[in-house]
Amino acid sequence: MEYRKLDKSFYAREDTVKIAKELIGKYLLTDIDGEGVTGGKIVETEAYLGAIDKASHGYGNRKTERNKNLYKAGGYAYVYFIYGMYYLFNVVTGKENNADAVLIRAIEPEIGLDIMLKRKEKAGRGKGGANGGINRITSGPGLLTIALGINLRHNGIPVCEGKEPEKLNIWLEDRNVNIAGKDVIETPRVGVGYAAEHALLPYRFKIKGNKWVSR
């Protein structure tokens, strides 16, 4: 069976929470600077609902230089830098001028392990010891971007058209992995306590018992 790249119609829908849930079990892949294909299965996501969501960078339709890519139509990457150290990768959803997006929080590394390990060592993350490097190589939103080679260069590029700069490819695929509904856990988001009541909504999804979810 052939792997199917997710296209615009997948991201352009209006129910971002549903998209976040459906992304569990899909594959996130990159091919950067000719280093080869890297990626794996998505095991954790979070939905951010733009204008009505205090935790979103697009709350109240605030528009700035930094978050302008949030307002693109579904199917674009929104990457931004945080804590002086990490890039976080989101995929924009919904229609143009709607600031909805899904944050990819963790993947299960499967493709291009050696390349991802090399990137992690290069970034000086973790002990890199006997197996210290591999165990949490993509288990968290700040880590998976390191492993996949994602940074601000990718902010605003499309993830569903193959025609972008050849050394700067990010896309998502359906590899026919079906995660049973009972194995997907919904929880409140983390790290957004300032968002008050919005922090409590169950917009975070992860695969139950999966070793690669963030902590």
Partner DNA sequence: CGTTGGATCTTCT
Partner DNA sequence: GAAGATCCAACGC
**Which residues lie near DNA (CB under 7 A)?**
46, 48, 55-57, 62, 64-67, 70, 78, 81-86, 88, 90, 101, 103, 125-127, 136, 139-143, 189-192, 194, 214
Picking from 139, 134, 130, 103, the residue whose alpha carbon sits closest to that of residue 120 is 134
Closer to DNA by CB, 69 or 169: give it.
Answer: 69
> To the nearest whole angstrom, how small is the minimum distance from the Cβ of residue 155 to DNA?
9
> To the nearest whole angstrom, how small is the minimum distance from the Cβ of residue 7 to DNA?
22
> To the nearest whole angstrom, how small is the minimum distance from the Cβ of residue 99 to DNA?
8
Q: Which alpha helices (DSSP H) does the chain contain, by range?
A: 8-11, 16-23, 113-122, 132-135, 141-148
Closer to DNA by CB, 61 or 176: give it.
Answer: 61
> To the nearest whole angstrom, how small is the minimum distance from the Cβ of residue 2 to DNA?
31
> To the nearest whole angstrom, how small is the minimum distance from the Cβ of residue 45 to DNA?
10
Q: b/e per residue, 93-118, with b = 16+ CB within 10 A? A: bbeeebbbbbbbbbbbbbbbeebbbb
Picking from 85, 211, 96, 69, the residue whose alpha carbon sits closest to that of residue 154 is 69
**Tokens standing for residue 47:** 């939905």
Asked if 13 contacts 94 with a C-beta cutoff of 8 angstroms, the reply is yes
Closer to DNA by CB, 2 or 48: give it.
Answer: 48
Residue 127, C-beta contacts closer than 8 angstroms, at least 6 positions apart? 133
Closer to DNA by CB, 70 or 160: give it.
Answer: 70
- Integer-rounded Cα radius of gyration of the chain: 16
Closer to DNA by CB, 64 or 178: give it.
Answer: 64
